Structure 1
């Protein structure tokens, strides 16, 4: 799903709350060493310990400096890398277009363990850097091996690697730094640089590639424990089958909708209920369809494993409000139609999932207008001669005027005849360079099984979705007849 520069500069779907380093309390130390379940039991009143256990958190936050980062023999490289929130004008690292040093880049910066908070699974077998878009996660080797087995089984385009990196000690276990490696459709260029290119940047294309789909916008919705499924082929902002399923959930007032009925509704030709977003949002608000959601394995009950993924869809209301909360909220213009995220790993106890995600970051023209053009313009004009006749960019210039002036500036700087002889080629190559960079701007994220930790709840809380519905998705059937399902 395409994202605007305004969205990227502000909040993002599923941004983890908190994460600021803070002094570790005695309770936090107990969480770190004994786990959430033990702490919940320890602090429970004696009279309550015989009752059914209450919901417990599956993810804990460990402040930077609170875990063991003692260097081990043979380890090298950074512990953590932070990815900038928006592109900046930076010096390029060679390649095309020739003679153009300045590029648009999401800057990367190393972060030491003293300044890197962690979000740790309850069983301590994996941990993710507690920032917005972490570039690595840490896990025991068994997590990596199990994940790679599942990823290979579906024909995923990536596998996870740990060799030669750092390790940290968390809760008595040694966790290894984990990164993705492209194994399917890889090119020499995609493997170069500090972070590999996932070859695509849009959320659904990345997810489909990671779950082994043969198509960049086709996934299989999986309901229940895998007892039912139907194809998803979203357009620019929605999917008709997902909309029909949401309509069926909204109308399930007596809680009888099962997997078979849900699949039939999704694949049927009946139009969704009138004002779908409002109807569905109000129906699911405050647990209003909790039993139905649990039976179908949707929303907070969606729990894909490695090699599968999440798909979350907005159900738009006629008044454009989010009715899944009370009172209904105006989310503004930054509402996403959908977002997909592939699961690439899971804690050994199965309660926490790690996704590998990205989204379209198509701000080249906007950022070029505001900053890159001015930097290049000043450098070209300083060369004297006819360069001094180049015209500055005006606020009144439309898109075509901007492109023409931008091409003139680039033509003044590029000396290679093979690059400059074709009109617009330097600009197109510069844009392709930026788009390739965005394919390396992926990030990991962790989701848990405790209250508020699920993919659905974190994404809904981000404010990027109206009346959201989350589905577990997997690799669709292969072959030319799959689209007819």
Structure 2
């Protein structure tokens, strides 16, 4: 969830690029700065001295497009990869009977089919799973053993999804990996599965994650510490009191003695965190300042959920709105997220890499309908002549009420059904519901590893969306609990 949900993201997390050609100095420099590529940076750095530390172990490797076996197998069909655009734009609908039937122009996140030659992969260390190296991939590839193990874990927690294979396969490192996508178990008919991708029925990050880990509540999960003990999380719009109190205890652990019992007591206590929690916590955890405590508690880069569990990352806000977990402190701007949840749906057979299924709140209908969709519909309406030519363009000075009135006029000019015409505002609401359904299909996969810079915590912290972040492993709460 975002601290200010009305603010829409102007940037998106960037997936690590494919490995560049050896001769490109600028590309190599960019790769060196990418989270999860410390080993590559070591490879191209000057010769090591006797006092140099060994290169960190990497658990995810980048395979450029065209470097793996994509020879079609008998009976295979469909796309190898589909990437999802980061911004909603207007597009012509498929004429699938969705309301309003006379309006085919819709808001959509653009989907693009990508061939293997142009699709870099992020591959687990043991080669048993691979994810398309773009920002929001719509599939991953894995061995059948990975899928079977994942589904067993998902069933054990009563997850709302299972993983299915089919369509395509690729060969990576001697293993044949199958194309994997989610299926929603509650959908017994095709009505809820309209469109190319299954609807997860929700789009906000925490609601999606909670349903995938089997929680019976859309905003309730257990935070699980390193020894398996836990406490309940019930986040509000941008934070969770128990998570804040735990961060306060970590910040104050100057002696390095905080154990899970102390962490549970702090999280479940009633004492409010001290002044300027974000600054104190960020400075305390910066540059590994609480590494031993984090490892003991199983938080931050040491949070390691399995399939049927998930990650939750929280921002700890500072009085100066800066991220003090880096030096010098950074101003992240207004687009800081209060928290983000992601469910783990698969894991490599050696346990070193996790695949998450994620989404986030995409509250863009009003903004995009105003900036993209209105002019397209206005032009089509005015082409009909008659009184339609009197329809007015939007003005920058038009407030939301004026926009809705003009939008309803344009839609009334395009809708033929007399019953719908009489219900002014209904076509606009139908378009909004259509977009909300589309956002429930706008999920994506991500891969995280156990190597330097590869963890969920490190990748999310490097995204620029969080201030002074703390990451927890989360799981399904006890159905009989509070």
Structures share a fold, TM > 0.5?
yes
Q: Distance in 1 between matches of 2:68 and 2:77?
A: 18
**1:201 and 2:200 aligned:** no
**1:261 Cα offset (Å):** 1.1
**TM-score if structure 1 supplies the norm length?**
0.91
**1:16 Cα offset (Å):** 2.3
**1:114 and 2:114 aligned:** no
| Secondary structure of residue in 2 paired with 1:471 | strand
| Secondary structure of residue in 2 paired with 1:106 | strand
| Secondary structure of residue in 1 paired with 2:90 | strand
| Secondary structure of residue in 2 paired with 1:441 | coil
| Secondary structure of residue in 2 paired with 1:89 | strand
Instruction: Give 1:443's aligned residue.
Output: 444
| Secondary structure of residue in 2 paired with 1:110 | strand
Cα RMSD of the aligned pairs, angstroms, is 2.5
- C-alpha change, 1:22 and 1:141, in structure 2 (3 Å) is farther
User: Within 5 Å, which residues of 2 pair with 1:222-237?
Assistant: 222-226=224-228, 228-237=229-238
| Alpha-carbon displacement from aligned partner over 1:41-73 (angstroms, at most 9, x marks no partner) | xxxx9999xxx9863000000000000000000
Confirm or deny: 8 A CA contact 2:17 2:120 kept in the other structure: no
- C-alpha change, 1:446 and 1:263, in structure 2 (3 Å) is same
**1:9 Cα offset (Å):** 4.1
**1:8 Cα offset (Å):** 3.8
| Alpha-carbon displacement from aligned partner over 1:46-104 (angstroms, at most 9, x marks no partner) | 999xxx98630000000000000000001111000111121111101231111001000
Instruction: Give 2:253's aligned residue.
Output: 252
Which of 169, 182, 185 in structure 2 is aligned with 1:183?
185
**1:143 and 2:168 aligned:** no
| Alpha-carbon displacement from aligned partner over 1:417-454 (angstroms, at most 9, x marks no partner) | 34333221100000000111111110000000000000
Q: Distance in 1 between matches of 2:274 and 2:49?
A: 48
Q: Distance in 2 between matches of 1:53 and 1:63?
A: 26
Q: Distance in 2 between matches of 1:169 and 1:196?
A: 26
- C-alpha change, 1:461 and 1:108, in structure 2 (3 Å) is same
Please list every run of at least 4 consecutive aligned residues from structure 1 whose deviation after the TM superposition is greater than 6 angstroms.
Answer: 3-6, 45-48
Q: Distance in 1 between matches of 2:191 and 2:312?
A: 30
Instruction: Give 2:84's aligned residue.
Output: 83
Instruction: Give 1:18's aligned residue.
Output: 17
**1:388 Cα offset (Å):** 1.6
**1:404 Cα offset (Å):** 0.8
Which of 137, 151, 154 in structure 2 is aligned with 1:134?
137
Confirm or deny: 8 A CA contact 1:22 1:63 kept in the other structure: no
- C-alpha change, 1:251 and 1:87, in structure 2 (3 Å) is same
**1:393 and 2:388 aligned:** no
**1:19 Cα offset (Å):** 2.9
> Which runs of no fewer than 5 residues in structure 1 stay unpaired?
26-35
Q: Distance in 2 between matches of 1:311 and 1:123?
A: 26
Confirm or deny: 8 A CA contact 1:24 1:66 kept in the other structure: no
Instruction: Give 2:32's aligned residue.
Output: none
- C-alpha change, 1:106 and 1:21, in structure 2 (3 Å) is farther
Q: Distance in 2 between matches of 1:187 and 1:103?
A: 24
| Alpha-carbon displacement from aligned partner over 1:197-255 (angstroms, at most 9, x marks no partner) | 111000001000100000111111000131x1111111110000000000000011111
**1:102 and 2:105 aligned:** yes
Instruction: Give 1:459's aligned residue.
Output: 460
Which of 199, 212, 224 in structure 2 is aligned with 1:210?
212
**1:171 and 2:173 aligned:** yes
| Secondary structure of residue in 2 paired with 1:360 | coil
- C-alpha change, 1:7 and 1:412, in structure 2 (3 Å) is closer
| Secondary structure of residue in 2 paired with 1:375 | helix
Q: Distance in 1 between matches of 2:49 and 2:466?
A: 42
Q: Distance in 2 between matches of 1:381 and 1:243?
A: 55
**1:188 Cα offset (Å):** 3.0
Q: Distance in 1 between matches of 2:184 and 2:399?
A: 40
Confirm or deny: 8 A CA contact 2:8 2:363 kept in the other structure: no
Instruction: Give 1:379's aligned residue.
Output: 380
Confirm or deny: 8 A CA contact 2:128 2:349 kept in the other structure: yes
| Secondary structure of residue in 2 paired with 1:327 | coil
- C-alpha change, 1:20 and 1:100, in structure 2 (3 Å) is farther
Instruction: Give 1:293's aligned residue.
Output: 294
- C-alpha change, 1:241 and 1:20, in structure 2 (3 Å) is same
| Secondary structure of residue in 2 paired with 1:214 | coil
| Secondary structure of residue in 1 paired with 2:323 | coil
